[in-house]
Amino acid sequence: MEGQIQVKKMAEYAAEGKNPEVLFWVGCAGSYDARAQKVTVALTKILHNVGIEFAILGEEETCTGDPARRAGNEFLFQMQALQNIEVLNGYGVRKIVTACPHCFNTIKNEYPELGGTYEVIHHTQLLQDLMAAGKLKVEGGAFKGKKITYHDSCYLGRVNGEYTAPRKVMEALDADLVELKRCKTNGLCCGAGGAQMFKEDEPGDKRINIERVEEIEGSNADIVAANCPFCITMITDGVKAKEKQDKIMVFDLSEMIVDSNKW
């Protein structure tokens, strides 16, 4: 599919009396964080190229409330969550895809008790589904021969048990895959979860992202594939702190597909 990519909003579809196949939940990081925006753009290109009819909420989307709830601020969580559920239910949203495992987890597992039940998938699950159905192909082999490792995010992996979809997607990249010592159920947190992203660390020996990057260094990988905007930030910071930014690249899986296909 060629030409300018149009990102329509739910409100526009609603005005036409239509309901798109899927809502792309962008999230705060995907909307505002310069690095995460690149992932948002990459996923948009994929959705566009495989011809999925999708929309975003735009200004009607707010934080899911995940960091507030995990910080202990239930009031703030409920305010965000109930407002989002009002909007989602108002548009009759059925299926949601998001590139943030925290948004994914909260909408999937915490919104139902508040009155919001949707089919929620993480973008790596969508990518695997599209590949399995033959709708998404990876060309070029831009990563052929590169040593790639994968960092399990806590909220896609250990919390929601999704370990295979992202790995299946990586297989298609034709790269040399190496697992980190602490992977899958034993995956090490990047240090951002539980609202740690928004505060200084408590006193300790080192930062958690440094611990993780040291493990990544030990794997001799050229590229770390991730699935979470916060993991990407933390690992990138850790790589910079170790002055390895020329040796180790950090990408989201969707970016790697877009690169391979030169979209």
Partner 1 sequence: MGIQQIAFILLMAVVGYFAFKRYSRLRKNIMIGKEVELEGNSSERWKNTFLVAFGQKKMFKNIIPAVFHFFIYAAFLMTQVELIEIIIDGIAGTHRFFAPMLGGFYTFLISFIEILSVLAFVSTIIFLARRNILKIPRFKKSEMSGWPTLDGNLILYGELLLLIGIFSMNGADTVLQSIGSAHYYDTGNLAISSWLGPALFGSLGEGTLIGIERFGWWLHILVVSGFIIYLTYSKHLHILLAFPNVYFAKLRSRGAIKNMPAIMNEVKSMMGLTEEVPAEEMTDELPNFGAKDVFDLDWRTLLNAYTCTECGRCTSECPANKTGKKLSPRKVMMDIRDRVEEVSDHIAKENITDLSTYDDGKSLFDYITKEELFACTACNACVEACPIMIDPLGPILEMRRYEILTESAGPKDWLPMFNSMEQVGAVWQMPEARDAWTNQLK
Question: What part of residues 73-102 is at the interface with partner 1 (CB under 8 A)?
Answer: 73-76, 78-80, 82-83, 86
Name the E strands within 32-186. 54-55, 95-98, 119-122, 147-150, 176-178
Tell me, rounded to whole angstroms, the distance of Cα 247 from its chain centroid.
23
Q: Amino acid identity, residue 175?
A: A
Least CB distance to partner 1 at residue 142 (A): 20
The interaxial angle of helices 34-50 and 253-261, nearest 10 deg, is 60
Piece of the chain touching partner 1 by CB under 8 A; list 15-23, 68-76, 141-149, 235-243 = 68-76
Contacting residue, 22, 108, 250, 255, with partner 1 by CB under 8 A:
108
155 binding partner 1? (CB under 8 A): yes
CB of 141 to partner 1, least distance (A): 26
| Among 166, 91, 87, 60, CA closest to 122 | 166
Q: What phi and psi, each to the nearest 5 degrees, are found at residue 105?
A: -65, -45
Residue list 31-50, contact with partner 1 (CB under 8 A): 31-33, 37-38, 40-41, 44-45
Give the residue with the Cβ less far from partner 1, 43 or 172.
43
Of 13-21, 69-77, 168-176, 251-259, which segment contacts partner 1 by CB under 8 A?
A: 69-77
User: Residues touching partner 1: how many (CB under 8 A)?
Assistant: 76
Out of 11, 50, 52, 114, the residue judged to bind partner 1 by CB under 8 A: 114
Q: Taking the CA atoms of the chain, what radius of gyration do you get in angstroms?
A: 18
Paired with 115 in beta bridges are: none
Q: Which helix (H) or strand (E) holds 25?
A: strand 22-25
Cβ proximity to partner 1: between 176 and 217 the closer is 217
Among 142, 159, 177, 178, binds partner 1 (CB under 8 A): 159
Nearest distance, CB of residue 128 and partner 1, angstroms: 20
Provide the token pair at 115.
Answer: 């009155």
CA distance 19 to 85: 16
Q: Which of residues 168-227 bind partner 1 (CB under 8 A)?
A: 185-186, 188-189, 191-208, 210-211
Of 15-23, 27-35, 140-148, 169-177, which part binds partner 1 (CB under 8 A)? 27-35
3-state secondary structure of 224: strand
Q: Which of 58, 147, 217, 244 binds partner 1 (CB under 8 A)?
A: 58
Q: Which two tokens stand for residue 64?
A: 């899911």
Phi, psi at 176, each rounded to 5°? -95, 110
- 9: contact with partner 1 by CB under 8 A: yes
